[in-house]
Structure formats: structure tokens, C-alpha cells
Structure 1
Amino acid sequence: MFVTVLKSKLHRVKVTQAELNYVGSITIDEDLMDAANLLENEQVHIVNNNNGERLVTYVIKGERGSGIICLNGAAARKAQVGDIIIIIAYAMMTAEEARDFKPTVVFPNDNNRLVIG
């Protein structure tokens, strides 16, 4: 039997752009992707702390060091620039694997940059 568990989380990042006329997805700064162990094209769930919206989309690699968090396509209707969101990825594994698995949780600063030290 497999269970679905939290794999990665970017906690409380700020939306920097919303591009309605785009194919779809969320663009994330590559530094944040690496820190949170997120892959390009990986499915993610987005939770908007400002309005309660929730959606599922996939990751597009954004410019490294830019702090970009951009909701694209229809997802752009679910948030405004400045909204605080949580980006969550899940993984399927056996219950035995899940017991010892430790998710990657990242808490960027107010400018969507990694806090070192």
C-alpha cells in the first residue's frame, strides 16, 4: 500500500507576478526550487493565505536569485501580486518509507530569498 505524504513546502512566499495570458503553471525562482527539492514540471498545490484559494498546477523554472513567484494562465485569477502563498508538493511511498521520511520545508524571507545561517 502507498500513502501520500508531504515532500516539499515553500512556506509563505510572496506572489511577485500574475500573468493571465500564459499557458499555465507557477514560475518559481530556481534557488527556491533547489532549496525545497522541487523539480521543473512537478505537480504542486498552491494555498493562498490572503483569500483561501487553492489550486493544483506545475512548476516552471524561474530566474535564479530573482525571487520570482509568478502564477500563470488561469492560476493568475487565484492570487494578486503581494498575496502570501504556500507551495506544497507531495510524494507517494510505502507506509514503511513514510515513517522515516523527512520533508523539505523552506521559510524564505519577505523578499522570497533564502535565509542563510
Structure 2
Amino acid sequence: MTIRVVVVDDQDMVRSGFAALLSAQSDIDVVGEAPNGRLGVEVSRSTHPDVVLMDVRMPEMDGLEAARRLLDPPPGVVHRPKVLMLTTFDIDDYVYEALHAGASGFLLKDAPVAELIQAVR
């Protein structure tokens, strides 16, 4: 089974790097990318990923709000991906908010690559 992933991060090099790392795995297919939470929700709703890697802090719509929208969709939308929150900030409030919003996990961006891949799987 192939795991379908969308990567949402406002830093282009970070987003591209995560996408490249994940795409190199035989069982992971990156089906979309987005530079902010608003577009991340749109891309996720159109591509139906299994997992969304979501940065916490982004312009237009932060990752916490985007996660809430993906995990509590409006009537008629039935797809609910797993959301894995990513951040450079080790702040307990972000962890609490992300998990309260329904995120499946929370990783710091400096976590080992193997940990990121395992979290997606």
C-alpha cells in the first residue's frame, strides 16, 4: 500500500526537501505541496492524501487552523487525513493546540529523517 502525502510549509526549500525525502521511499507518494494553510486545505481536499505534513506557523492561515479545518470538515466533505504537525519551535502550547485540534502527531523539524519517515508510516 502506498501512503499518499501532502507537504504544507511556507519555506520552499524545507517543503521541497521534505517532499524529496518522502518521495524517495518506495511506499510513500507525495501528491501535493502548498506554501500556506489555506492552500494546504485546498490541495488536501482535491488530492485526498492519507497524511498531511503541516507546518505550524505560516502566512494566510497557520497550520493549527488548517488542521482544524481538515479534521473537522464541513458537511458533505468526508475525507479526513491524518495530520502530522511540524515546527522549528519546541513550545508546549503548540503541541497542546495541535493535539487538541486532532493532529496525529507533532515533530520538530530537526528530528532525524528516519523519525519523520516512521511518523508518516
Q: TM-score, normalised by structure 2?
A: 0.25
Q: What is the TM-score normalised by the length of structure 1? A: 0.26
Question: Which of the two has higher C-alpha Rg?
Answer: 1
Higher helix share: 2
Q: Which has the higher strand share?
A: 1
Q: Which has the higher contact order (CA 8 A, sep 6+)?
A: 1
